[in-house]
Amino acid sequence: MEKIKDFNNRRKKTILVFGSTSFLNDLGAEIGHSIWPVFVREILKAPMSVLGLIDGIGEAVVSFSQTFAGWLSDKLGKRKPFIWLGYLISGLARLGYSITYFWGLLFPFKILDRAGKIRETPRDILALDIADHRFKTQTIGFLDAMDHLGAVFGIISAIILIRFLKPREMFFIAGLPSLIGAYLIFTLVKERALPVQPSFLKFSPGKFHPSLKIFFFANLLFALGFFSYSFLLIYARENGWSVTSIPILYLIMTMSMMLMAYPISRLADKIGKKKIIILAYLFWSLSVLGFVFGFKNSLIIPLLVLFGFAKATLRPSQIAFISEFSHPLFKGQTLGFFQMISGLVFLAASSLAGFFWQFFGPRTVFLFAFFTSILAILLMLFTTEKKMVK
């Protein structure tokens, strides 16, 4: 009995540490994100093509680093080193920005910054492994809620700090929370030894459970129309919202994600992840449908809130669904593989949205997103879900 109590206390402590470090990292990340374009363009005098190239390389690094971390953490049977190391290198990269005086040096620091995402897949898998089977989705939902809460405080902090500090000083401050997070993970999180993956076992997407295969296809189809939030903010700007109001709209959208992430993930543990994934697709389809009909000032905020609901609703249930159908020795690789191809499809989606926007107008972008989400809903209806144990 005493051993069970100790395990439960250790489990709660680990989840709280993960939540705290998620908050700290996103606090620093949003301070950095808020000044990144201005720093690159106006301080370092880099051309727009360089800004786009740096950001594109950064997103590619994210996709592959998550896959690599999932694969290697499965091979080694360890998750913790990837988590604290991920926070450490992201924090150091932001400190690196603060001492950069030539835009060419941004490339290695950006790669280092985005490579910090090696923490995400191992952290999610470790959190799911130690979570009570009744609360797996809400465990990820709690971590996401802390992410979004940190983002909210980061945006507000940036709005305040920009009045008193220079961009280099803000980048220095932005790096500190992640370094604190790395220290907390290194000192407070204990990890039990996992079985090392036998050499004769090979990871193969072709051997996935049929429901997991359908899930992958549905989510990739959905991702093809799930473009960057930047397009929604640009739409608002082109339809009468002032430049100074755009950060406020972004803040409202982030707050909607924060408020939705935990409650909806609790509901997923009660009624099933499949239903909540479909609900996320529905939120997105309703949001873009509003933009298809050309709603302007009167409904911009509700439509952005629906986008926030879609984003917050989707990720926890996706991760828990994948974990549920993954081979115990391949959980990291399965999740990493999903995140890699989703990231690549997301890049394609934003590029496609930009092409449609430029040559056919914004309504075409939103209409395409609506149809891909409806098709994804129809595909998800063919998946099954493992019976929940009370």
222-232 confidence digits (pLDDT tens):
988 887 777 78
Tokens linked to 196: 């090392």
User: pLDDT-based confidence at 214, cuts 50/70/90?
Assistant: very high
Q: Write the CA distances from 56 to 47, 51, 105, 107, 139, integer angstroms.
A: 14, 9, 16, 11, 31
Fold for 209-390, please state it: Growth Hormone; Chain: A; (1.20.1250)
Does the fold of domain 209-390 match that of domain 1-188? yes
Nearest residue to 254 via CA among 277, 232, 226, 221 = 232
**Averaged pLDDT for residues 315-335:** 85
- Chain centre to alpha carbon of residue 63: 11
User: pLDDT-based confidence at 175, cuts 50/70/90?
Assistant: very high
User: pLDDT-based confidence at 389, cuts 50/70/90?
Assistant: very low
66 in Cβ contact with 340 (< 8 Å): yes
Least confident of 68-72, 189-193, 218-222, 248-252: 189-193
Spatial separation of the C-alpha atoms in residues 348 and 358, rounded to whole Å:
15
88 in Cβ contact with 80 (< 8 Å): no
**Averaged pLDDT for residues 90-102:** 93
CATH superfamily, domain at 1-188: MFS general substrate transporter like domains (1.20.1250.20)
Spatial separation of the C-alpha atoms in residues 107 and 96, rounded to whole Å:
11
* Model-wide pTM > 0.85: no
Predicted pLDDT at 342: 82
Q: In terms of pLDDT, which residue wins out, 323 or 9?
A: 323
Nearest residue to 147 via CA among 237, 243, 30 = 30
Angle at the Cα of 33 (from 30 to 37), degrees rounded to 5? Answer: 160
Count of Cβ atoms closer than 10 Å to residue 249 Cβ = 18
Predicted pLDDT at 338: 86
Predicted pLDDT at 230: 73
Residue 127 above 70 pLDDT? yes
- For tokens 């239903």, the residue is 275
Tokens linked to 149: 């809460």
- Domains of the chain by residue range: 1-188, 209-390
Nearest residue to 87 via CA among 156, 143, 130, 28 = 28
Spatial separation of the C-alpha atoms in residues 34 and 160, rounded to whole Å:
11
DSSP one-letter string for 307-351: HHHHHHHHHHHHHHHHHHHS-TTSHHHHHHHHHHHHHHHHHHHHH
Question: What amino acid is encoded at 87 in this protein?
Answer: Y
Least confident of 60-69, 122-131, 240-249: 240-249
Average pLDDT over the chain, rounded to an integer: 85
User: pLDDT-based confidence at 90, cuts 50/70/90?
Assistant: very high
Q: What percent of the chain has pLDDT over 70?
A: 91
Residue 7 above 70 pLDDT? no
Predicted pLDDT at 197: 56
Spatial separation of the C-alpha atoms in residues 318 and 315, rounded to whole Å:
5
Nearest residue to 232 via CA among 192, 178, 287 = 287
Angle at the Cα of 373 (from 283 to 369), degrees rounded to 5? Answer: 95
User: pLDDT-based confidence at 390, cuts 50/70/90?
Assistant: very low
Predicted pLDDT at 277: 94
Question: What amino acid is encoded at 15 in this protein?
Answer: I
Predicted pLDDT at 295: 61
User: pLDDT-based confidence at 87, cuts 50/70/90?
Assistant: very high
Least confident of 37-41, 100-104, 259-263, 267-271: 37-41
Tokens linked to 95: 């400190």
Out of 26-40, 213-227, 376-390, give the one with best mean pLDDT. 213-227
User: pLDDT-based confidence at 48, cuts 50/70/90?
Assistant: low
Residue 1 above 60 pLDDT? no
**Averaged pLDDT for residues 140-154:** 92
Spatial separation of the C-alpha atoms in residues 255 and 261, rounded to whole Å:
10
Instruction: Dump pLDDT digits (tens) for 293-308.
Output: 866 667 888 988 999 9
Spatial separation of the C-alpha atoms in residues 64 and 337, rounded to whole Å:
9
Q: How many CA atoms lie within 13 A of 68 on its CB side?
A: 12
Q: What percent of the chain has pLDDT over 90?
A: 34
**Averaged pLDDT for residues 102-131:** 88
Tokens linked to 5: 């109590």
Q: How large is the angle between the packed helices 136-161 and 167-188, nearest 10 degrees?
A: 150
